[in-house]
Structure 1
Amino acid sequence: MNEPMAKWACSVAEAELRESLPRRWMHSQGVARRAAELTELLGGDADLLASAAVLHDVGYAPRLAATGFHPLDGARFLRDGHAADERLVRLVANHSLALLEAEERGLEGELQAEFPLLDDHRLVDALVYCDMTTTPDGRVTTVDTRLAEITSRYESSSPVGRFIRRASPDIRAVVGRVEAALAAQPR
């Protein structure tokens, strides 16, 4: 791949989401804009974060939804269909504490075996921050507003409903860590 990874990632995400899931495409673009705000914090990994941000929900595309668990479906598509960078694929697979939702769906073994969580917690946290501070329409929001919005869309007994209740304290903690790191940056 000669072009920057983020440019390639944007074209892939757009091809998969723009027509079939326009609101999801708006969200993905908003998450990518949030990632651009973290460039100085991540230095050389900024392109990787931008790529993961725009691709994190690609597994929702109807033609890719094999398991119905979008992090796993998206990661498999990127790995198998595009031979994408391993760290990118692992970020997409594990975005926003996906392992907890995988447990709710009985897919944790598959997710962990195929796409182990990255050791670089800065990147993992940054992607959680970007996703969990962006509305479905791609606007900036607070983590509490985003969590309330997700909760309102799913029955409490659904896998996502159970997951979001379990994950909310950890999501808030991650967003807090990223916000603290941003506040500590020299201006």
Structure 2
Amino acid sequence: MGVSIWEWAEWVAEKELSSTLRRRWVHTQGVAARAAELGPAMGKDGALLTAAAALHDVGYAPRLALTGFHALDGARFLRDEHGADERLVRLVANHSFALLEAEERGLRETLESEFPLLDEPLLVDALVYCDMTTTPDGEPTTAKERVAEIEGRYGADSLVGRFIRRASPEIFAAVARVEAALVAQPR
């Protein structure tokens, strides 16, 4: 029996993040745990969501940070070094409204052309939910607290600070949609 997509993703993320970016690895584990909780609600895409959650920040790994934009660097790494599933790569590339950050960095056209946004709103929103309701220390939080933490960590006038302010209405809406979908799930 082969390794599942989730097991492979966890192995890759641990290999790339655990020794060089310990806190990022802890956050990643928390995001993946949130995704695993959503798995049953995601049906056949539960394992894909969990794999994307495990890999969403892999582009921060120092050896992979070629452009300095982790979403693009991570997606290129997964595509080029691992030949990863296209949907997985596109989720990593576009997680948490990365197109808005790409725009701030002058990389929007590059990201859009290499990794078009998936036309699967619930799956895209679910990854936003998992990332934006997990602290840097891997603990559950609210999206509002997470956005405030990011802005505080990077600074309001930084590139990431500008991005997170622009993205926050979309982040809050995505989280609300996932929460509503979870409430509507039969028990």
TM-score (norm 1): 0.98
The one-letter amino acid paired with 1:97 is F
Q: Which amino acid aligns with 1:79?
A: R
Q: TM-score, normalised by structure 2?
A: 0.98
Name structure 2 gaps, 5 residues minimum.
none
* Residue-by-residue CA offset, 1:36-84 (whole Å, 9 max, x unaligned): 1111211000010000000000000000000000000000000000000
- Aligned CA-pair RMSD: 0.9
Counterpart CA distance in 2 for 1:37 and 1:182 is 11
Question: In structure 1, what is the equivalent of residue 160 of structure 2?
Answer: 160
Q: CA deviation at 1:157?
A: 2.2
Q: Deviations over 1:133-179 (max 9, x none)?
A: 00001001111111110010112222111100101011000000000
- Aligned partners of 1:103, 1:23: CA distance in 2, in Å? 27
Which range is displaced more, 153-162 or 13-22?
153-162
2: distance between equivalents of 1:51 and 1:39? 11
State yes or no: 1:145 paired with 2:131. no
Structure 1: 5+ residue stretches without partners? none
Q: Would you say how many aligned residue pairs link Structure 1 and Structure 2?
A: 187
Match of 2:24 in 1: 24
TM superposition shift of 1:186: 1.4
Report 1:34-183 matches (<5 A): 34-183=34-183
1:89-118 Cα distance to aligned partner (Å, 9 max, x none): 000000000000000000001000000000
| 3-state secondary structure, aligned to 1:20 | coil
Consecutive aligned runs of 4 or more in structure 1 exceeding 3 Å deviation? none
Partner of 1:171, secondary structure, is helix
SS of alignment partner, residue 63 of structure 1: coil
**Percent identity of paired positions between Structure 1 and Structure 2:** 70
| Distance in 1 of aligned mates of 2:159 and 2:76 | 21
